[in-house]
Structure 1
Amino acid sequence: MRVLLVDDSRLARAELRRLLEAFPDVEVAGEARDADEARAQIAAQRPDLLLLDIHMPGETGFELLATLEAAPPVVFTTAYDAHALRAFEVNALDYLLKPVQEARLGAALDKVRAQLPAPTPRPAPEPAPTAAPATPLTEQDQVFVKDGERCWFVRLAEVRLFEINGSYTQIYFDQHRPLIPRTLAQLEARLDPKTFFRANRQQIINLNFVAGVEPWFSHSLRLTLRGGGEVVEVSRQQSQRFRELLSL
């Protein structure tokens, strides 16, 4: 299930991301701070669910829905209970009051699952010839990167961040941000775990670029990377691994 988070509060979006980590079948497809960003993300990502705030700068969550020709299933997240009746009048599947509780979020996700079409069984593919495993890459290796008409030959030691961007992965090195048709799982399988660390479902970081570490929600960590100043929120589970990996 692919979920789009729509809330003008960055802290609220971060808390929803943290809560959703407890549900293995859920992937955060993107985030939006207002109705304009949400419309663009819905068109680009086609999520299975909107976790939608009501009170946002500009248009409200209700006004956003009124502009959509075909809206995905919606669960409202709000600090106010005064709009519950109207929420169900626009066919929302649920209405969660902030601070959102994991159990209530789980119940709302169950309602969404019941609405989604069952996956179509596919015939078992013919067994393919066994291929030799790809050679692991070290930080000293150079890799060829192509994005449109532009090409680079970059040393992995210069890459500070890999980040999911839609169905592609974005690579951060120097001031460049090319996209490649690879998943994080494919990259993680080839990268040296002593240098490259899976921070969360969306990002892999180069540990040599970590410039700052600070505590974050629920014993998780937030990292700042040198070179570009990117801020990476480490999931609760990976924060524990990060401490174990780098502690004396």
Structure 2
Amino acid sequence: MRTLIVDDSRLARTELRHLLGAFPDVTVVGEARHAAEARELLTTVRPDLLLLDIHMPSETGFELLASLEAAPQVVFTTAYDEYALQAFEVNALDYLLKPIQEVRLAAALQKVQARLAPAEHRPAVVAKPAPEAPALSTLTEQDQVFVKDGEQCWFVRLAEVRLFEINGSYTQIYFDQHRPLIPRTLQHLEQRLDTRTFFRANRQQIINLNWVESIEPWFSNTLKIRLRGGPEVEVSRQQSGRFRELLSL
């Protein structure tokens, strides 16, 4: 389990590294003193796990996560207990209070191993390069993204997102009962998403093919698709032809 430690305290980083030495399956691949340093390391060391402090200079741990397009598994390590609810609202796997006890660390690592086990044969979910970088890797349905909308935050696996839809200068994403807005264009998302799973239905919408519930003919040789959990999506004439070829209809 490749682990990145992010904490502004040198003593805290040293103590965590010492504690992790008791777990042979854990490899510390780097340390960061603040969010900017962590952001750089995430693109190069490709960790499975982020041991993340909350209070740091310039940016908090939550702000670091909000700046990432995708993130590894996260366990918060902090001296403050008042952020526990917020941590679990973003689907962090655990929340360890300093001084960290080895038994609590062991329990947290077991949770991480359980989460990673089904995906042990695929690359870890990591932060991707900035959009203008020349080599952008594809985001698959197994990747998870951090979404922040106002005061609410989520870690969302792309497999759970059934629809991306233009909403003004933002994109609205549909998962569970939520519809937060993200500061990404649909064109940017189309370039990043795996075309085996995500299909551009029209100028306004990208659908997750695994969420298609029914397909019916519509006007002018187009198609109308109903997604599980809604809504209905009208496929443009050009894309209807591509959709039929894709599914051999």
The alignment's TM-score, normalised by the length of structure 2, stands at: 0.48
The alignment's TM-score, normalised by the length of structure 1, stands at: 0.48
More contact order relative to length (CA 8 Å, sep ≥ 6): 2
